[in-house]
Structure 1
Amino acid sequence: MSIIPNRLANVLEADLRKTLGVAGCAGVRHVDLDIQVAPEDCDAGMIVLWRGRLPVGHLLRGSDGHCRVTPIAAAQDSRPSPPVLNLPSASVVICTRDRPNELRRCLSSLPQQSFPPAEVIVVDNASRGDETREVALAAGAIYLREDRPGLDIARNRGAERASSAIVAYTDDDVLLHPHWLEQLVAAFDRPSIGAVTGLVLPAEIATEAQRHFETFWSFGQGYAPQVFRAADFAASKHEVFPAWKIGAGASMAFRSEVFDRVGLFDERLDVGQAGCSGDSEYWYRLLANGYDCHYQPSSVAFHFHRRTMEGLAKQIYSYMRGHSAALLVQHERTGVKANLKQAFKWKPLWYLSRVRRTLLGRRVPEDRFLWQEIAGYISGLLFYIRTRRE
């Protein structure tokens, strides 16, 4: 992996080599703007721009062939949180099922953390063999077995076991930057913040499926910190609050107190149940209960997107299945009627316009999985109807 030639002592290169190591980063190049000029055009894949240890922008050759350039974050917008000084303790929870090799790779990035977790908890969500347990114990993690399938069920088991003031979550198909946890925990810089999310970048763009995902379904939410305020949520209840823009479940943390005050994750949502959106529904619920949410892109994780089109098609189906179910769960839990309008009026009209465009021969690259999206969306509504609560 050649990141910055002839500068082996460079801080950025050292950090990324620690993180990505032998996994490499095919199709993704990292450039330090402190010592290099920003490229004027895309490579075949993605170029992530850094200043020191901070990501500030990227260039991406999209699946439609166009070069997408994100605005470079201003220096004042990309400052990291203060260094480790009296930070609260943090537990890291990783939920996994039948992916021992991915889990091993993820766990390998935790000993490199500048702020060590007080404990690492691996929740084995009904794996079929013993290898997950062996990998977790070999890494010195706390191993929990949860036989009920469902990512939110596993997340809840981890939250109940965690003993720290902060509970951080990541996924087994992720590698963590050495300052990931430090920056995530430091972003709890005021009592009103109940949740923090970080920037999730692609670990590789080696296939057409990975390029398509990063082009149209990226986990990244930009390179400038954002605070999503409960007051803004309360003032816009006539509209659907886009909680999915707060971050990604692959990199998120919560004050442990919120689980007592707001409840646990809704076990009808996310992988193994509705398919997705257990994280965004929980952020939505925090906002509805007076907590702010903080997106902090100086906390960086690297995600391995699905490599095949078949796998991506199934993922997108699940995403929309979970999204529509989450809209109805959000209405059920908060009474905000805008969720019903979004679920049964505005979203169907949006899909109708895309179908019409396709039938008129004006299909665009983002519609490649349109029928999987629609099928998943309808399935999510039906799933909620079967599982709704009074």
Structure 2
Amino acid sequence: MLPSISVIVCTKSRPDELSLCLKALLKQQYAAMEIVVIDILPEDTGTQVLMRNRFPGCRYVSGPELGLAGARNLGIAESYGDILSFIDDGSRPLTGWSRAVAQSFAENPRLGCCTGPVLPMEFKTRAQRLLAERGGFSKGFARVVFGRNSHAPTEAYPVQSWKFGAGANMSFRRSALLRVGGFDASIRAEEDLEIFFRVVRTDFELLYEPRAIVFHRYPRTYKELRRTLHLWGHGYISALLKIAEIDPLYRRKALSEASSWFWAFQLRDRLCGGFTGKRRRFPPGLVLAEVSGGARAMVEYMLSRPRKRGEESLLTPRFFSPFIRLLRRWT
């Protein structure tokens, strides 16, 4: 028997995009499914009017003054499904998406989270092509199970959680999501990456299911793309610092990954072309947008956690030691 699903869509003053998303969800033809819309900006009545006039069968919940993580937590409390699926209001699930998700959980009782491909809805602008060149949201079409012991570990596993999937297409077993504590509202963007880590860390398995396909509209303008990359950088470094703070077992890995993200991935490989010319340089303005997001996360972390006398900060000179080692290797 397949489980019931609650699809939670958090939205902020985008009724046109939301309408297309809900139409795609209503085509899923999965009987045991409810749709819950969390309105982060109810002062703009456009979403409420849309829901009342065109989608009365979907549940509307007002969530004023909540960030995305807080809105998702509200969706958990307001829904009833055994499986909690989260997609963006700018996403369009492919027909069969919900059934692929449900079957994945039904087949594996240890499965705590299921993600899937997030494919571009269009390639009309240079900004959209650049995001695809950056890697976009999708992680390919291979079916992969991630777990503490069921996946070949790498040096950065499992803190390099961007490899697990994307928040625009993620589903959780309700019991697993409640056990790990829901979403961390202190992380302002990319909180999905931090919760992916917690799911795997808590001995649940995470599945990347290529049949569970969602289409997503990439940013159309350069300004929108800069903002997206800035949030990516901010969210990823925030997640790594949170892991380092709360999990002594993975502290060294998380800080090493944060350091490598700044110095090796962003500055060496993407901004400077790897110093060898073999890697294609990414537009400097976009690299700096993402790096500035990560730097802002570090500053916010240090300002938000005043130390007691004698207590050592996570961001000691050791944080920068990988950069020094890389410089010695290259020179």
Cα distance change, pair 330–136 in 1 and its aligned pair in 2 (3 A): farther
The offset of 1:133, in angstroms, is: 1.3
The alignment-based identity, stated in percent, is 29
Partner of 1:341: 256
Deviation sequence 1:74-96 (CA, Å, 0-9, x none): xxxxxxxxxxxx20101110000
Matches of 2:19 and 2:96 in 1, distance apart?
19
State whether structure 2 residue 186 is matched by structure 1 residue 186: no
Decide which of 165, 176, 193 is 1:247's aligned counterpart: 165
TM-score (ref. length: structure 1): 0.71
What does residue range 120-131 of structure 1 map to in structure 2 within 5 Å? 120-131=35-46
Partner of 1:353: 268
Cα distance change, pair 356–162 in 1 and its aligned pair in 2 (3 A): closer
Matched residue type, 1:205: F
Matched residue type, 1:230: R
CA RMSD of aligned residues (A): 2.5
Partner of 2:282: 366
Partner of 2:328: none
The offset of 1:261, in angstroms, is: 1.3
Deviation sequence 1:331-382 (CA, Å, 0-9, x none): 2232212112222x32332144258727989694424412112211100111
What does residue range 163-312 of structure 1 map to in structure 2 within 5 Å? 163-188=80-105, 189-232=107-150, 241-269=159-187, 273=188, 276-312=189-225
The offset of 1:173, in angstroms, is: 0.3
TM-score (ref. length: structure 2): 0.83
State whether structure 2 residue 112 is matched by structure 1 residue 112: no
Matched residue type, 1:292: E
The offset of 1:146, in angstroms, is: 1.1
Matched residue type, 1:120: I
Decide which of 376, 383, 386 is 2:293's aligned counterpart: 376
Decide which of 235, 238, 255 is 1:322's aligned counterpart: 235
- Secondary structure of 1:282's match? helix
Matches of 1:340 and 1:288 in 2, distance apart?
17
Partner of 2:10: 95
The offset of 1:143, in angstroms, is: 0.9
What does residue range 63-82 of structure 1 map to in structure 2 within 5 Å? none
Cα distance change, pair 110–327 in 1 and its aligned pair in 2 (3 A): same
Deviation sequence 1:235-272 (CA, Å, 0-9, x none): 66875532111111111110110233110100012xxx
> Do 1:323 and 1:377's aligned partners in 2 also have CA atoms closer than 8 Å?
yes
- Secondary structure of 2:213's match? strand
State whether structure 2 residue 146 is matched by structure 1 residue 146: no
Matches of 1:312 and 1:235 in 2, distance apart?
32
The offset of 1:386, in angstroms, is: 3.4
Matched residue type, 2:147: R
The offset of 1:168, in angstroms, is: 0.6
The offset of 1:384, in angstroms, is: 2.3
Cα distance change, pair 216–114 in 1 and its aligned pair in 2 (3 A): same
> Do 1:233 and 1:241's aligned partners in 2 also have CA atoms closer than 8 Å?
no
Deviation sequence 1:176-203 (CA, Å, 0-9, x none): 1110111012111211110001111111
- Secondary structure of 1:297's match? coil
Cα distance change, pair 98–361 in 1 and its aligned pair in 2 (3 A): farther
> Do 1:92 and 1:117's aligned partners in 2 also have CA atoms closer than 8 Å?
no
Matches of 2:281 and 2:262 in 1, distance apart?
20
Partner of 1:15: none
Bigger helix fraction: 2
Bigger strand fraction: 1
Cα distance change, pair 101–356 in 1 and its aligned pair in 2 (3 A): closer
The offset of 1:123, in angstroms, is: 0.3
Matched residue type, 1:97: K
- Secondary structure of 1:347's match? helix
Matched residue type, 2:123: I
Matched residue type, 1:349: W
The offset of 1:289, in angstroms, is: 0.7
Cα distance change, pair 279–239 in 1 and its aligned pair in 2 (3 A): closer
- Secondary structure of 1:265's match? coil
- Secondary structure of 1:110's match? helix
Partner of 1:22: none
Matched residue type, 2:169: S
Matches of 1:230 and 1:223 in 2, distance apart?
22
- Secondary structure of 2:209's match? strand
